Structure formats: C-alpha cells, structure tokens
Amino acid sequence: MTRIRAAAIIVFVALACGLAWVVALPLWLGDGLAEPSTWFLLPVMMLTPAIAALVVTFTMRIPSRGERARFLGLWPLRPAKRVVWLMVAGWLVPPLLVALGIVLAAGLGFVQLDLTFAAFSAEVAKALPAGAPMPPIEVVVISQIVMIPFGALLNSVLAFGEELGWRGWLVPALRPLGTWPTLLLSGAIWGVWHSPLILLGYNFGRTDITGVLFMIGGCMAWGVLLGWLRLRSASVWPAVLAHGSLNAAAGLIVIFAASQPDLALAGPLGLAGWIVAAAVIAVLVVTGQFREQPELADGPGRLLSAPRAD
C-alpha cells in the first residue's frame, strides 16, 4: 500500500492557508468585516482549499492519474444506496443538530430564548427600507425555517470549494494514519484555515487567540461528523451537503435568542455545538459506524485500506 507523501500534505495545507490569508488581506488593510468587498471575498476564500487540492493533484501527481475522481470522492457513487442515504442525512440532519444545540444552550444558561421573537423582530425592522410595512414576525420566522433546506442546497455550491479540499483531498491523504488521527487532524487544520476571518471577529466576535481556539474546537467536532460521512460513503458529496446545510442553519439561534448570544458558548460551532456533536459521535462509535468503511482510492489498482478496529 502506497502512503501519501508528507510533502504533498504540507504543500496542500500551506497553499490552502496561505491563499486564504491573501484573499482576506484587503479586509485587514481596510475596514475589516465592514469592508464592502466582504460579500465577495468570503466566497472566494471558500475556494482556496479546492485550489490547493487541484494544485497538489496536478503538479505533485497525488493522486495518480486515472484515480483522481475516485480519490477525491467525486465518482463513482458506490455503494449507491449508502451514498444516497448519507447525502439525504447530510442535507437534513445538521439543522436538527443545530436546533438541539439551541435547546441545550438554553438549558445550560448560555442563552435566553424568547418565543415572542422580539429581538429578531427588531433586527428585521431595522433591515426594512424606511416606511416599509413590518410583516407578521411569525410569518418571517416560519419562512426562515422552511427555507433552510433550500438554503442548504444553495450553500452547498460554495461549500464544495472547501469540501473538495478538506474531505475530498485531505481526508484520504491522511487516511493511512488511521480513522481518528485523520478526522481530528483534518478538523483542526480546517479550523486554523479560518483564522484570517476569526481574528477580525467573524463567528464569535473575538479578535484574539480564543476565537481561533473556539473555531478549531468547532471544526474538529463537526469535522468528525463530516469526515465520517466521507469515510462511510467513500464520496465527498454527503459532506458537501452537510457543510452547506450547517451554514444554512447556523443563524437559527439569532431568531430565538432574547438578546445577542455569545456564539462561543451557544452557537453551533461553540460549546453547545461541541456537546451535541460529541453525543452524535458517541452514538456512531457505539453502533460501530466507524468500523465499516469502503476503501479509498490511492492510485491505479491501489487502495487505502480502512482498518476495521482503529
């Protein structure tokens, strides 16, 4: 069995993170997240892991020609039934986990909920043009929730840029290390990659190392789940849908919170989200879901074996 060269992994990580800083540089030189170009630069940054993966694939020839689509989890979609069901799970389950995180956060006192939606109503009113009538807040809330599955599909288009790198290239590249080192290390790298935005206050409103550490924790927790989808299906598509679905549902807490919550504690990437993800991971471990994995492609006629007991 041919192991992926460490040099290729180092180049991939350096490229993905370095390009992310280059894309975010105008924000650092300008008004931070208030910079008008933010709406454009954030989606561009999401493409940098895919660019890194393609550079390593075509310049360092890892994976070998003839196995690239299979290595990256793009094709073929086999076993088809399992891939389809995991795609459905990736699409629909993350919003449920985000909702469970909100309930848990409220139970732990991280956030106070307001089912009259007064705070959310005030935010909606501020966003409306002057003189525009305020729609019934219940209608707005229901429409926001109903739109999450559709938003997940739209967000998946952008999430593909990240997932082609993280779960498409990096997870199979690290696979010879074993299941848990692969999932935890790829999640930690994913978290570090967010640093240019986190240090500007993105996600948690913390502009120091604590924000980066919270993001690493959140990405490791969710990275295990997205990585499990990748390893269990041998396809990148369930992880793409799950990533898009998570992004679409991430703002749910703002709807239900009585005031601006501390997302480092109550958000889906914060402490409450970690606990929910850990509970799901525990269920997957107990039911043996990490032991049965299709083999991942390495090169023509070669596979990265999936040990049954690691």
Q: Which single residue is written with the structure tokens 């729609």?
A: 135
Of 59-63, 117-121, 241-245, 283-287, which gets the smallest average pLDDT?
A: 59-63
Residue-level pLDDT at 310: 40
Residue-level pLDDT at 64: 74
Asked if residue 143 has pLDDT above 50, the reply is: yes
Of 113-117, 178-182, 194-198, 300-304, which gets the smallest average pLDDT?
A: 300-304
Q: Which single residue is written with the structure tokens 């913390």?
A: 206
Kindly report the average pLDDT of the chain as a whole number: 91
Average pLDDT, integer, range 135-155: 95
Burial class of residue 63, CB neighbours in 10 A (0-12, 13-18, 19+) = buried
Q: Which of 269, 308, 228 is nearest to 97 (CA)?
A: 269
Residue-level pLDDT at 309: 40
Asked if residue 3 has pLDDT above 70, the reply is: no
Contact 53, 12 (CB under 8 A): yes
Instruction: Give the C-alpha separation, 56 to 58, whole Å.
Output: 6
Structural element, H or E, at residue 298: strand 296-299
Per the omega criterion (within 30 degrees of 0), is the bond before 268 cis?
no
Asked if residue 195 has pLDDT above 80, the reply is: yes
Q: How confident is the model at residue 244 (pLDDT cuts 50, 70, 90)?
A: very high
> How many residues are listed for the chain in this entry?
310
Three-class DSSP category at 89: helix
- pLDDT top residue among 132 and 267: 267
End-to-end CA distance of the chain: 17
Residue-level pLDDT at 17: 98
Residue-level pLDDT at 4: 58
Residue-level pLDDT at 305: 47
Q: How confident is the model at residue 294 (pLDDT cuts 50, 70, 90)?
A: confident
Put residue 109 in one of left, alpha, beta given phi > 0 → left and psi -120 to 50 → alpha: left
CA distances from residue 157 to 25, 53, 244 in whole angstroms, order as listed: 24, 17, 8
Average pLDDT, integer, range 94-104: 98
Residue 304: strand pairing partners: 296
Residue-level pLDDT at 76: 80
DSSP 44-103: HHTTHHHHHHHHHHHHS--SPTTSHHHHTT-S---SHHHHHHHHHHHHHHHHHHHHHHHH
Residue-level pLDDT at 131: 79
Residue-level pLDDT at 298: 54
According to DSSP, residue 114 is labeled -
Average pLDDT, integer, range 13-36: 97
